[in-house]
Structure 1
């Protein structure tokens, strides 16, 4: 009975977050407002929690706790769709441009880490605020053998049904949806269960994307429909005919709204260390955006690709909404660069900070999350529990601050101009 109640609470709480995201998104679209709708919803939830009496706020948090735990447990899945269809998106990107993007990604990550870490350290030395214990943070439960084999069975069964009876479910996107979704989930669970040494090379996100791509290749070959057609059905961006990727990306707005709960849970920490947190994040976010635009101009990367990778240090959930404020961007390249930045940070952030003598937990937490968002945060959580709360705060706020900046027409104009597309900066319409 308790299990049934828990499942019902999860479904209802998660359903409310998803429904709220869609309603606000539709309202913003109807009003032609360019500001990210999910970010507005997040601010509303956070403000509501602050205004409610403590008992009601705690009850509100408890009710949505299953939804936030679910989101954190499956978070990488919602980032993957753009990576899965990356083979279709990068065909127009030349090898020279790809090398330039890699240079900007690696160099930009290191520079952002240095700027964020030393800014936090400098402000910390000025304010001299004593570090206080953070609120405990729940960690999602690991995936067990039952989940692994259950999703493996679902994948095999759904693949067989799609192959034997491809027209039974109607459209090709609907036919491919079950097995592509199952292959994505199975790949993530498989990647999560790999030894830690293997994960440094084959991160669960990479394993997840490869699993879906291999499933698409297999079905495209056996059905003779071709891998391009199958991948095209993975992310259709059509509300009336969604693919597996559209289902997963439909949770991105809920991910952003869930930031309100984590920030509220750490409100005492934010209030006490506001100077270090907000100064560092504002400086790091501004530096990341403008340094990317400048580097793109210096190495003569195509302006539209430079604009596509501007939010390289922001979590995918907000990065895709930031680049949607610009015209003609390649969102798959955006997602790929964001994930690559996170993987770099997850593997090298701690070693680099040790070399730079960044020992302060606030500087380490903010530096890691401001340069490598959620993947860097996940890496720190396993080894540096004292830095984790600051990672979690910076992880959310970096995306929030960068989104706020890019919602200002003047900043968008300047970024486009620096990237090298002066004509686009004059012709874009930035309506609210």
Structure 2
């Protein structure tokens, strides 16, 4: 089949899946119906059922992926609008993000050790709470597997989105700053998308947390590797 036609076909299929599954999420507001999670699952099942190679799907999927960069840059708009809030709460944000990055990396490392993962796999799990590009670079630098690090990042993002709202309700966290920092530092991009559902302040704080976590994690990661290996 023509490459251009395949590109449009798979890009369109991804969009249709997302729009349909997002409508279900909007209607029922059940965390497990988060569209990124359900769309990913639906696409995997579709490719397996029809025996479609991943490389063939990516002829169109890559066009969706290319929008990630502009989407991340677009986070600067609400961040700029909420700059006064950020300045007023600079210390709580900084301390919260640092604590979030530290706990996220240390918990992954300790759990991996408890389950007796190989050293290579532990070093791959370590940066799971950071955004994919940073996590992949750090994992490779530590001696881990960069491609597998991206998978752990997705798992961390999905689990943060699924359990994040429930935990915040349980702990009585109802401030925009608390929700934003919690979701951004634990579930990065997926958490930021959910934070915007609470409001622009939450989303802005989450985007700050996601960015700062990548910076803080770049320093914490090597320190933890030095301490434990």
Task: Provide the C-alpha distance between the structure 2 equivalents of 1:181 and 1:377, rounded to a whole number of angstroms.
Answer: 29
The structure with higher relative contact order (CA 8 Å, sep 6+) is 1
CA displacement at 1:181 relative to structure 2: 6.8
Aligned to 2:43: 211
CA displacement at 1:278 relative to structure 2: 0.7
Aligned to 1:112: none
CA displacement at 1:258 relative to structure 2: 5.3
Query: Cα 1:317–1:266, aligned 2, differ >3 Å: closer, same or farther?
Result: farther
Structure 2 residue 93 is the aligned partner of structure 1 residue 277: yes
Encode CA deviations 1:332-370: one digit per residue, 9 max, x unaligned.
Answer: x32333223222232332221121122333222211221
State the SS of the aligned residue for 1:390. Answer: helix
Task: Provide the C-alpha distance between the structure 2 equivalents of 1:231 and 1:257, rounded to a whole number of angstroms.
Answer: 28
Structure 2 residue 121 is the aligned partner of structure 1 residue 305: yes
Query: Cα 1:192–1:355, aligned 2, differ >3 Å: closer, same or farther?
Result: same
Structure 2 residue 182 is the aligned partner of structure 1 residue 367: yes
Contact 2:78 2:204 in 1 (8 A): no
Aligned to 2:107: 291
Structure 2 residue 145 is the aligned partner of structure 1 residue 329: yes
Query: Cα 1:208–1:293, aligned 2, differ >3 Å: closer, same or farther?
Result: closer
State the SS of the aligned residue for 2:168. Answer: helix
Encode CA deviations 1:214-270: one digit per residue, 9 max, x unaligned.
Answer: 3476365xxxxxxxxx335667xxxxxxx5566665565666655555544433222
Aligned to 1:411: 223
Alignment of 1:106-185 (within 5 A): 160-161=1-2, 175=3, 179=6, 182-185=9-12
Task: Provide the C-alpha distance between the structure 2 equivalents of 1:262 and 1:400, rounded to a whole number of angstroms.
Answer: 20
Larger radius of gyration: 1
CA displacement at 1:327 relative to structure 2: 3.0
Structure with the higher fraction of residues in helix conformation: 2
Task: Provide the C-alpha distance between the structure 1 equivalents of 2:172 and 2:31, rounded to a whole number of angstroms.
Answer: 26
- Which 4+ stretches in 1 moved above 6 angstroms? none
Instruction: Give unmatched runs, 5+ long, in structure 1.
Output: 1-159, 162-174, 221-229, 236-242, 423-432
State the SS of the aligned residue for 2:142. Answer: coil
Aligned to 2:54: 231
Contact 1:234 1:245 in 2 (8 A): yes
Contact 1:309 1:337 in 2 (8 A): yes
Encode CA deviations 1:186-232: one digit per residue, 9 max, x unaligned.
Answer: 22442233211377246334424642663476365xxxxxxxxx335
Aligned to 1:114: none
CA displacement at 1:280 relative to structure 2: 0.8
CA displacement at 1:328 relative to structure 2: 4.3
Task: Provide the C-alpha distance between the structure 2 equivalents of 1:248 and 1:322, rounded to a whole number of angstroms.
Answer: 25
Contact 1:345 1:368 in 2 (8 A): yes
Aligned to 1:186: 13
Task: Provide the C-alpha distance between the structure 1 equivalents of 2:50 and 2:200, rounded to a whole number of angstroms.
Answer: 42
Task: Provide the C-alpha distance between the structure 1 equivalents of 2:161 and 2:183, rounded to a whole number of angstroms.
Answer: 8
Task: Provide the C-alpha distance between the structure 2 equivalents of 1:199 and 1:190, rounded to a whole number of angstroms.
Answer: 17
Query: Cα 1:413–1:339, aligned 2, differ >3 Å: closer, same or farther?
Result: closer
Contact 1:296 1:303 in 2 (8 A): no
- TM-score of the aligned structures, taking structure 1 as reference length: 0.44
